[in-house]
Amino acid sequence: MKQNRWLYPLNVQNDFTFNSSIRDFIVEEIPLYEFSGEGEHLILKIRKKDMTTWEMIDTISSHLGIKKREIGYAGLKDKNAMTIQYISLLKIHQDKLENFSHNKIKILDKFIHSNKIRIGHLKGNRFSIRLKRVFKAQKDKIESTLEWIASNGVPNYFGNQRFGNSNENYKDGENILSGKLKIRDKKKRDFLINAYQSYMFNNWLSKRVELSLLLNEFKESEVEDIMKLERGSLKNSKNQPQFLRVLEGDIMMHYPYGRLFEAEDLELEAKRFHERDISISGLLAGTKAKKSEKIAKIFEDEFIKEIDFVGGRRYSWIFVDDIDGKYIDDKAHYEISFRLPKGSYATNVLDVLRGSQES
């Protein structure tokens, strides 16, 4: 499958330096619910640095003398960052934590709760990022771009973390599915197949962003000719108020949580999308996944293959909340904080800010 260019919605070029490190990148998990104060589970609020979530869990499980699967967590957090997240274990192990000490892990707080934390048990994450080498000429451009992001949101691409250091994990996933590669470790196998799903999703989303960019500049009929679509396919798409255009047959998702449904009344769905009530979803190829119809199906079929693996839908466009920015003149730093829904990458905000494209 030919790799598409991952497009971004703004024609900007902001110059800055960002290093993913514990000094310049902080991620804090936002729990899905308040902890009850009763029950058999102990919730730990953990701050870690320079280690993966799995390395942190391995360290704590070894100290307690329990299996890693007995520790619950809501999501995996970056290694090259200062991260705060919540994990759960049985309350009976609480006394063993009294003498726990590690130079990369600190227990910030403890709570009692009635159930184990499981994957996805979080509302989202708050990110705090320091941009460097931001000179005064760039300050206003960055702030203007942040205003656009606050009003419009960003594409929900999968980040480079999903594709490995070589950006080619997806090829192994494709080879596993075709039988060319055998991987016995189920977690590794699933991870590589997920990378292939993510790769196809990103290419599909890039094409939909390209479509919206063209509709900003040309008439619907002209874009239909450029993209070799039937005349009338893009009717009622150009004048929609949001950036990413809704097409007939798109599968929409209530935002930030909720059920799937097919877009039929484009004017109504575009209005609801603009108001952040719903968002367009993209297909994660696989079984049991709801497929797009009509004109939306043409884009889906071009970039997403059928595979024998559990599929689903993912928000293609997300909204960025609680954006705050501060310019540090004497250091030429720009400090930004914002909140994203679960499963989303801070790199999407940075890439729109930078105006960059990944090849």
Domain at 253, CATH number: 3.30.2340.10
Residues 77 and 177 in one domain: no
Asked whether residue 265 is assigned to any structural domain, the reply reads yes
Length of the chain, in residues:
359
Residues 169 and 310 in one domain: yes
The domain in which residue 216 lies consists of 156-318
> In b/e form, how buried is each residue of 36-67, taking b as 16+ CB within 10 angstroms?
eeebebbbbbbbbbebebeebbebbbebbebe
Structurally, how many domains does the chain consist of? 2
Asked whether residue 79 is assigned to any structural domain, the reply reads yes
> In b/e form, how buried is each residue of 74-101, taking b as 16+ CB within 10 angstroms?
bbebbbbbbbbbbbbbeeebeeeeeeee
Average pLDDT over residues 163-178: 89
Asked whether residue 335 is assigned to any structural domain, the reply reads no
Residues 66 and 184 in one domain: no
Asked whether residue 327 is assigned to any structural domain, the reply reads no
Asked whether residue 48 is assigned to any structural domain, the reply reads yes
What does the pLDDT read at residue 162?
84
Asked whether residue 234 is assigned to any structural domain, the reply reads yes
Question: Tokens standing for 85?
Answer: 């997240």
Residues 90 and 182 in one domain: no
Asked whether 200 and 193 are in contact (CB, 8 A), the reply is no
Which pLDDT tens digit goes with each residue over 182-198? 999 888 999 999 999 99
Query: Domain with 56 in it: what CATH number?
Result: 3.30.2350.20
Query: How far is 304 from 104, CA to CA, in rounded Å?
Result: 41
Please state which of the ranges 7-16, 242-251, 307-316 shows the lowest mean pLDDT. 7-16
Question: Tokens standing for 260?
Answer: 């799937």
Cα distances (Å, whole numbers) of residue 1 to 113, 171, 203, 302, 303 = 47, 10, 10, 10, 8
Residues 53 and 164 in one domain: no
Residues 178 and 68 in one domain: no
Query: How far is 201 from 343, CA to CA, in rounded Å?
Result: 14
Residue 136: count of CB within 10 angstroms of its CB: 9
Higher per-residue confidence, 13 vs 109: 109
Handedness of CA 243, 249, 250, 252 (dihedral sign): positive
Asked whether residue 119 is assigned to any structural domain, the reply reads yes
What does the pLDDT read at residue 325?
95
Residues 62 and 196 in one domain: no
Residues 246 and 111 in one domain: no
Q: Is the pLDDT of residue 13 over 50?
A: yes
Residues 300 and 172 in one domain: yes
Asked whether 101 and 60 are in contact (CB, 8 A), the reply is no
Residues 102 and 173 in one domain: no
Which pLDDT tens digit goes with each residue over 218-277? 999 999 999 999 999 999 999 999 999 999 999 999 998 889 999 989 999 999 999 999
Strand, helix or coil at 28?
A: strand
- Domain edge (last residue) among 124, 148, 176: 124
pLDDT band of residue 358 (cuts 50, 70, 90) is very low
Average pLDDT over residues 74-89: 93
Asked whether 170 and 193 are in contact (CB, 8 A), the reply is no
3-state secondary structure 143-199: HHHHHHHHHHCEECCCCHHHHCCCCCHHHHHHHHHHCCCCCCCHHHHHHHHHHHHHH
Question: Tokens standing for 343?
Answer: 């499963």
What does the pLDDT read at residue 3?
52
Which positions are catalytic?
Answer: 78
Q: Which residues contact 346 (CB under 8 A, 6 or more apart)?
A: 25, 27, 125, 127, 129, 338, 340
pTM across the whole model: 0.89
What does the pLDDT read at residue 5?
61
Query: How far is 236 from 245, CA to CA, in rounded Å?
Result: 9
Q: pLDDT > 70: what percent of the chain?
A: 97
Question: Tokens standing for 356?
Answer: 């960059």
Asked whether residue 229 is assigned to any structural domain, the reply reads yes
Q: What's the alpha-carbon Rg for the chain, to the nearest Å?
A: 22
Higher per-residue confidence, 12 vs 121: 121
Q: Is the pLDDT of residue 359 over 70?
A: no
Q: What is the dihedral of CA 217, 218, 220, 221, to 10 degrees?
A: -160
Residues 119 and 29 in one domain: yes
Strands across the sheet containing 260-262:
260-262, 251-254, 278-284, 312-315
pLDDT band of residue 171 (cuts 50, 70, 90) is very high
Going by the DSSP 8-state scheme, the letter that residue 280 receives in this structure is: E
Residues 53 and 179 in one domain: no
Please report, as a single letter, which amino acid is at residue 359. Answer: S
pLDDT band of residue 346 (cuts 50, 70, 90) is very high
For the chain, what is the mean pLDDT? Answer: 93
